[in-house]
Every structure is written in structure tokens, then in C-alpha cells.
Amino acid sequence: MEYFIQQLVNGLTLGSIYGMIAIGYTMVYGIIGMINFAHGDIFMLGGFAALIVFLILTGLFAGIPVVVALLIMLIVAMLMAGLWNWTIEKVAYRPLRGSFRLAPLITAIGMSIALSNFIQVTQGPRNKPIPPLVSSVYNVFGISISLKQIIIILITVVLLSVFWYIVHRTPLGRAQRATEQDRKMAALLGVDVDRTISVTFVMGAALAAVAGTMYLMYYGVVVFTDGFIPGVKAFTAAVLGGIGSLPGAVLGGLLIGLIESLWSAYFTIAYKDVATFSILAIVLIFKPSGILGRPEVEKV
Amino acid sequence: MTNITSRHEGAAGDLTARALREALYAGLISLGLFVLFVGLKSDQNIRNELILVPRWGLLAIFVVIAMVGRFLMIAYLQPFLASQKVVNAATGMLPDSMASRFFRLPFFIAAVVVSAVMIAAARGLPDNIAAYATIIRGLAIIYSLACLFYMFRIFITTHFTVLAVAALVLYPIVIVAIFGAQGSLKWVDNFGIQILIYVMLAWGLNIVVGLAGLLDLGYVAFYAVGAYSYALLSSTFGLSFWVLLPMAGILAAFWGMILGFPVLRLRGDYLAIVTLAFGEIIRLVLLNWAEVTNGAAGISGVAKASVFGIWSFDVSAPNNFAKAFGLPMSSAYYKIFLFYLILALALLTAFVTVRLRRMPIGRAWEALREDEIACRSLGINTVTTKLTAFAIGAMFGGFAGSFFAARQGFVSPESFVFLESAVILAIVVLGGMGSLVGIAVAAAVMVGGTEILRELEFLKHIFGPDFTPELYRMLLFGIAMVVVMVWKPRGFVGSREPTAFLHERKAVSGSFTKEGHG
């Protein structure tokens, strides 16, 4: 039983990371109907930004408190990933917005290849390990919960609340929801659609960067290929929860995290990615609208 | 009069001011983008700790390039393109008359002279200056070749198929004549075979994506099925390549049906993602099912192909090709044989595609691509239509896979990652979906272009000995995908010859044809 609960805790931590990436996928899909394939690499980029900021901080101010360091890492990574995604959207996706449906997907795949190889070329192909930032572990009723896990879950909860507030309670969020429902109508009613889409990309990237920072802190290592597998898993989470639905993305992320850690705990760890991919295929085949998504009505 | 000139001057001043402003923005943005990733490099020191190595000079170069590029674009390129439009409208020339101004006979002669001079001069120069000479020579040669193409474009387009096939058949012979048997290896193998494999794969995928409009992101799975079935069956049962080639095709087609069946109901993006998932599942199974596939280590010592069992290319075999003809031993013969083999396989793919497009099944594929609902209401069985597309596309993937295994002599899951699927799909889309010629051109440009990077050793004399151009292969590939897509979303060849037509055959612009929602 303790083992099971231990796996639940691990799964929730992992799921929080996936959920935060999944939001970026689901928002972009909701608003312009495009699978932003490069989103996983934005996550990786965020991780690298955090890594470099960490190295700067430990190099310049040796005794910096961990909380401050983590906060600076988070903020810089968010800004960095936001700027990258903003530029990418402007340069690569916006010119193709009126084009046929495959075009943005192909461009996004190209962008994903370019981004991961950009990091490989500029930062080197090796794993980048860092010393553990926080290492305390608490023992609660026989279950060990590390401070890292608490921080990750806490930051996820806080950020998602902020995010929920932005989307549901601010004019910006209203513009986003309007654009998602009907882009042309929103434009006619005075919503700056281009700006709204840009902001959506920036927000998604910022959350992915937070996930990247958390990932770096949790595993203590980041490498340029890290965008692909977590990216696909987060996409699976978005699909599982119902693509286009924000609570769905978080729910899907948590479920994928739980499934992955329970599968690794009770079955073979070698096939854990097969499990995720199978879920992705099964959900898309049998229930493409996911758990919380609206079914897509086809108009002839 | 004075008014007009002053207004012109004012406009020019505005333009310069705007260009400067835009350049400043571009500089700031690129500074923001690159400051962490280019300006600093995380490196390991002797104690395996990460340290930062500053590279501010490189960062400055990036920022300056972004600023200058943006400035030139706003101040010169955009007004130039706009003025060209006016010229086109005034002279009544077609938009592509830009090319006729760019490719002119005097320029061509100058380029030929420059390349000849550079070839002659390169011998006596020190290394670092010779490197620049090589660049100029390369550009001049490319320009003169492009000129030749442009001047004979009508002849080339009318006789394209014959010319292309003749050039490909003669290619190894010419290369051997120029570089000798040993020197030809690189050109036949790295350029010829490598490009043709991608041409064949892309043509196979074209049946699924370009004709039937089913977006498949897991095509490499069938390539893997073909490669592994050849590797496993030949090493277990000792069967020959010529028995296993059709068998690999059949097995891959079978897998195409198995994987195609569950996704019949899916459309567009979702189909793409599910096929991606299937492709990854197959790779992960190959990676983890070590009892059969030997896991990540892969299967080595895969048997070579033979010339229909008559001559072998094994060094120890009594019927060795070189021995039979009394030639000196060399691995070049096998490569040349493989070149002709993959050429034949690729041409078979093209032939089948062209023929199928004229048959009811091909028409049904294209109808399915354009509108699935209309297709169904006209009584086309979409299930069999989709499954045949998957199966036939997969079959050619399987052929290519078994060829790949015979060529490498080694297969491992490393060769069948998602990136390969993405590259193949990119070639199909960049070439213009459905256009065989476009796809071949795209494969030659994208794969050949990245292969050429391996040859740019002379760049080391310019950028220093640490510079390894092949590191930039995939980076440039990704950027090229984005750039070509933004510049020409319909691919290099953006028009399609309709297979079914009323009264007369008119090429339609690619913008009028739909991509698959099926």
C-alpha cells in the first residue's frame, strides 16, 4: 500500500510537469487548430535557459539562497521561452495561417528539428547534469516525499490558478476565448486576433518553460533531445483530456503521469513509453474528443 | 517638379529611418534570443562540473547579421521586389521573367571564366586563401549550371523523364571514369544511393499522402519492417535477397493494413499523430524485444545482395563478381550494383504510381483526397480505398527497407527514429504532394544538400580547425523545411496534371487541390 501511494506521489509530480506542457498544446490547438510540434522543444529550451541561469548564479553569487535562485531561473526561463515562441510564431507560423492545413504542421516539425539541433550545436550534444538544488526528503507515514516534489506540485497549483484567472477573468482571456470560438467574428468585434494568438503562444511557452525548469530540478539533467518524448507525452495528455480544454489538459497530464509511474512500478519499465503511445492511439481512435473535450461536429 | 523630387527624397528618408528602426528591433530581439544560448556555452571542466564559457564575439556576429539582414531587406530588397512587379506589369512580362534578368548570357560566360580561373588558381595558393577560392568557384559552378538549365529549360521540361533516367544510368559510369573505382565510392554511395533511397521512400509515402491524402507520420515503421524482415530472415534461414525482397514488401504491406485498419475513421492531424504513435511503438518494440531483434545493438553481418544469385559480392565466395570478370578487388562494384538496384526499385515505384493513377483505384484515391464525403456518397468503398493506399505505400517502404539492410549490412532501431519519418514527409510536401518530379528534386536538394556539408572540409581553413560542418546538417535541414514551407507552401512543383479531365488537359495550380482530410 505504501509502495502504491509512493508511486501516486511520484506520478502526480510527473503529471504536473506534463500537464503544464499540455496546456501549451491545447491552447494553440484550440485557438488556431494547429498541432504545435515544436512545443516540446520550447520546453527543452526553457530547461536549458534555466540551466544556464543556474550556472551564472552559482558562478557569480556562490551563496545565493535556493529560493531566490529558483525564482530567477523560473522568470528568466519563462521570458526566454516566451520570446522564442513569439518569434517562431511570427516568422514561421503566421505567414501560413491562411494556407492549407498541413502547412503549419510541417513547418512546426521543421522548427522542432531546427530548435533541438540549434541547442545541440550551440550547447553541445552531451547530458548537462547539475548538482541537486534541494535535497531534503520528508517521511510522512512511511512515504518519502521530497521537497522537490512539494515545490513542483505547489508551483503547478499556483501557476494554474494564475493562468485560470487570466483566461477566465481578464479582458485578455476573454479575447482568447472569443478567438478560439470564432476567429473571424472576434476580429469583426474588435479583438486584435494576431496579438491574441501571439499572447497565447507566449503564455503556452512560459508554462512549458516552467515545466522545463521543474524537469531540470527534478531529474538534475537536461539534454538537447529532451523535447521529443516529454513533448509527445504532453500531447497525449492534451488529447486524453480532450484537446482544446484547459482543465482537460491538466487532468490528462496527471493521468499520464500516474499511468507512467504505475506502469513502471508494476510492469516493465522498458515498455513505459509504449504504454503512453498506445494510450494516445487508443484514445484518438475510440474517443477523439477525450475526457472533457467537446465532440467535433462535422459540417458538410 | 521640385515638389515631386522632394517627396521622393522624403520617402527615401522615411524608408531609411524605418529600415534603421526595424534593424534595431531585429538586433534587440536576436540579442534576447541568443544571449543565453549563443553568448554562453555550458561546458564540462576536468572535474566533470559544468562551467560557462562566454562567446560574446559570436553573439555579436549573430546580432550584427540579424540587424544588417533586416536593414537590407527593408531598405533594398522589398522596394526592389516591388519595383520589379511594376516593371513586369509595364513590360507585360510574366512574373518569372525575374529569372530571365538573372540568368543572362554575359553573366554565364563570366561565371564559367571565373570557375575556370579559380580551378587553375587554387593550386598555387595557401590553404586559407584557397578556401575562399573554393567557395567562389562553387558558387560560380552552381550559377553556370543553373544558367544552363534555364537556357535549355524548354528542351529539359519536354524530355525530362528520358533525360533524367539517362543521366542517372550514366552517372556511375561517368563518376568511375572521372574518379576511378576507389574514388567513385563516395559519390555513388553518399550521393547516389543515399538520395535514391529517399526518393524511393518519398515516392512510396507519396501514394499515401500525396494521392490518397492520408497524412502518415509513421512511415518509417514500414521501412523498419522491411529492413528487419530481411535481416532476420536472411540470417536465420539463409534466404537470398531476391527471395526476401518481395517477402519484405508483402510483410510491410501486411503491417500497413494492420496499422491502417484502426485509423480508418480518423482524419487530418489526428491520423498523423496516431501513425506517429504506431511508428514509435514499432521502434520501441524493436528496441526492447532483445530476444528476437538483439535490442539496441542491432543485427550486424546482414548478407549482401547478389546479382540474381549468379555473381556474389562476398570476398570469399567462388563466384565473386570481381574474380569472375578478372577485375581488381574493390568494394566499388557492390556500390555501383546497389546504385542500379535502387534506381530500378525507385523507377518501379514511379511506374506503379503513374499507372495506378490511371486506374480506378488511383482515381478513387485522388477523389478521397479531395472530398471523402462526396466519395462515399458516390459509392466508393472508402475502407478498401484507404487500406490499399496504406498497403501499397507500405510495400514500397518495405522494399526500400530490405534494400537498406542489404546496403548497410547492419540494422538497428537507431535508423528508424521519428526524425526519418519527418524527413521523408518533408520531402513529399516540399516537392509538392503528388508530383513525382517535384519530390525527386526535393529529395536531391534536401538530402544531397545536407550530404554536401560533409564535403566542405575547406571551411575549416576559414572558421578554424574545430569547425565541423556536418554538425549543422539537421539544423540546416530544419531551417530549410521552414523556409521552403513559408516561401512556397505548395512545394517546389506547385501544379498538378489532372489524370481525369474534360476536353483538354490543363495543369491546375496546387492551391486549388485540397490536402487530405481523409
Establish if B109 belongs to a structural domain. no
**What's the grid cell of residue B495?**
501544379
Taking residue B170's Cβ as centre, other Cβ atoms within 10 Å add up to 11
A101–B515 C-beta distance less than 8 A: yes
Establish if B235 belongs to a structural domain. yes
Q: Which CATH number fits domain A2-286: 3.40.710, 3.40.109, 3.30.460, 1.10.3470?
A: 1.10.3470
pLDDT band at residue B517 using 50, 70 and 90 as cut-offs: very low
Q: Where does residue B501 rank: exposed (0-12), middle (13-18), buried (19+ CB within 10 A)?
A: exposed
Length of chain B: 518
How far away is chain A from the Cα of B33, in angstroms, using its nearest Cα?
A: 6
**Together in a domain, B179 and B289:** yes
List all residues of chain B from 83 to 112 with a beta carbon under 8 Å from chain A: none
Last residue of a domain, one of B95, B114, B142: B95
3-state secondary structure of B430: helix
B475–A114 C-beta distance less than 8 A: yes
The gap from C-alpha A262 to its chain's centroid, in whole angstroms, comes to 21
Closest CA to B301 of B205, B382, B399, B230: B230
ipTM metric = 0.87
> Residue B187: pLDDT above 60?
yes
Q: What is the pLDDT of residues A63-96, one digit of tens each?
A: 788 888 889 999 999 999 999 999 999 988 888 8
Last residue of a domain, one of B43, B69, B95: B95
B262–A100 C-beta distance less than 8 A: no
pLDDT of A205: 93
Contacts B428 to A, Cβ<8 Å: none
> Residue A42: pLDDT above 90?
yes
The total of structural domains in chain B comes to: 2
Q: What is the pLDDT of residues B318-367, one digit of tens each?
A: 666 666 666 666 677 778 888 888 999 999 998 998 888 888 888 888 88
**CATH number for the domain including B326?**
1.10.3470
pLDDT band at residue A300 using 50, 70 and 90 as cut-offs: low
Question: Which residues on adjacent β-strands are paired with residue B40?
Answer: B54
**Together in a domain, B80 and B199:** no
pLDDT of B220: 92
Closest CA to B365 of B223, B217, B199, B500: B500
Cα(A155)–Cα(A149) distance, rounded to whole angstroms? Answer: 10
| Domain assignments of chain A as residue spans, ordered by start | 2-286
Establish if B144 belongs to a structural domain. no
Establish if B73 belongs to a structural domain. yes
**Together in a domain, B234 and B383:** yes
Which residues neighbour B303 within 8 Å (Cβ) at sequence distance 6 or greater?
Answer: B234, B235, B238, B240, B241, B406
pLDDT of B304: 75
- The answer to whether A49 and A209 are in contact (CB under 8 A) is yes
Contacts B482 to A, Cβ<8 Å: 91-92, 107, 110-111, 114
Length of chain A: 300
**More confident position, A293 or B518:** A293
**Together in a domain, B387 and B308:** yes
pLDDT of B99: 65
- The answer to whether A21 and A40 are in contact (CB under 8 A) is yes
**Together in a domain, B229 and B345:** yes
Establish if B458 belongs to a structural domain. yes
How far away is chain A from the Cα of B291, in angstroms, using its nearest Cα?
A: 14
Partner A contacted by B284 (CB < 8 A): yes
Establish if B126 belongs to a structural domain. no
Question: Which residues on adjacent β-strands are paired with residue A143?
Answer: A140
Establish if B115 belongs to a structural domain. no
Residue percentage of chain B with pLDDT more than 70: 79
**More confident position, B14 or B204:** B204
A103 φ, ψ to 5°?
Answer: -55, -50
Closest CA to B397 of B196, B226, B250: B226
Containing structural domain, residue B291: 159-512
Establish if B123 belongs to a structural domain. no
pLDDT of A299: 55
Q: What is the pLDDT of residues B440-497, one digit of tens each?
A: 888 888 888 877 777 766 666 666 666 677 778 788 888 888 888 888 777 666 555 5
Closest CA to B301 of B411, B413, B185: B411
- The answer to whether B441 and B494 are in contact (CB under 8 A) is no
A55–B50 C-beta distance less than 8 A: yes
How far away is chain B from the Cα of A94, in angstroms, using its nearest Cα?
A: 9
Q: How far is CA B208 from CA B204, B205, B224, B325, in A?
A: 7, 5, 17, 43
Q: Which amino acid belongs to residue A31?
A: I
The per-residue b/e assignment along A81-108, b for 16 or more CB within 10 angstroms, e otherwise, is: bbbbbbbbbeebbbbbeebbbbbbbbbb
Last residue of a domain, one of B43, B65, B95: B95
**What's the grid cell of residue B372?**
471523402
pLDDT band at residue B371 using 50, 70 and 90 as cut-offs: confident
A92–B475 C-beta distance less than 8 A: no
